[in-house]
Amino acid sequence: MGEGYMATNFEKVVSLARKNSIWPLPFATSCCGIEFMATAASHYDLARFGSERMSFSPRQCDLLMVMGTISKKMGPILRQVYLQMAEPRWVIAVGACASSGGIFDTYSVLQGIDQVIPVDVYVPGCPPRPEAILDGVMKIQELVHAEGLRRRTSEQYKDLLGSYGIQ
Ligand code: SF4
């Protein structure tokens, strides 16, 4: 094979394309959402990662970014948004509130969104700085790049969804 040729396989090409064109759905309910706005603005420039196209429709996004305090009342709505996303889909819990309820250890606040939907990456902090949010996006990129095309139809993945009552 001469110069200018590269051999690869279909799976790697798909992973590369997915990794660099992740469309986020910002589910922002409070202060962490403001940090996300800074992340998307020119200084931190989320566009560098192919993720400048925010989707406010669950049907047209890959990455659910949950930023802020989620009340127990809001849990079913968050779950509904997740269910409306097409596979393959990924989830980041941005900040202490989305990850664990944060400082709001109260009767009304969900103590982590992983009680209602599966989470791929947790970003710590209250609030996390934009660098930390970018780091979370890069962690998602690593997962997307390493994910095989068959994962979403695997028994393990079905079991994971089954543990959340999702068929
Ligand atoms: S983690 Fe902190 S900054 Fe983020 S939503 Fe909760 S209270 Fe606000």
Taking all residues of the chain, what is their mean pLDDT, rounded to a whole number? Answer: 94
What is the pLDDT, as a whole number, of residue 1? 60
Give the CATH number of domain 10-163.
3.40.50.12280
Task: Tell me, rounded to whole angstroms, the distance of Cα 81 from its chain centroid.
Answer: 12
Whether residue 34 has its Cβ less than 6 Å from ligand 1? no
Decide if pLDDT at 9 tops 70.
yes
Paired strand residues for 63 = 24, 90
Instruction: Express each pLDDT in 97-128 by its tens digit.
Output: 999 999 999 999 999 999 999 999 999 999 99
- Type and span of the H or E element at 90: strand 90-94
Mean local confidence (pLDDT), 66-93: 97
Give the model's pLDDT for residue 104: 97
> Which of 32, 106, 122 best tests ligand 1's pocket when mutated (most atoms within 8 Å of CB)?
32
| Residue 125 CA, closest ligand 1 atom number | 1
Q: Which residues contact 14 (CB under 8 A, 6 or more apart)?
A: 149
Report residue 48's pLDDT band, with 50, 70 and 90 as the boundaries.
very high
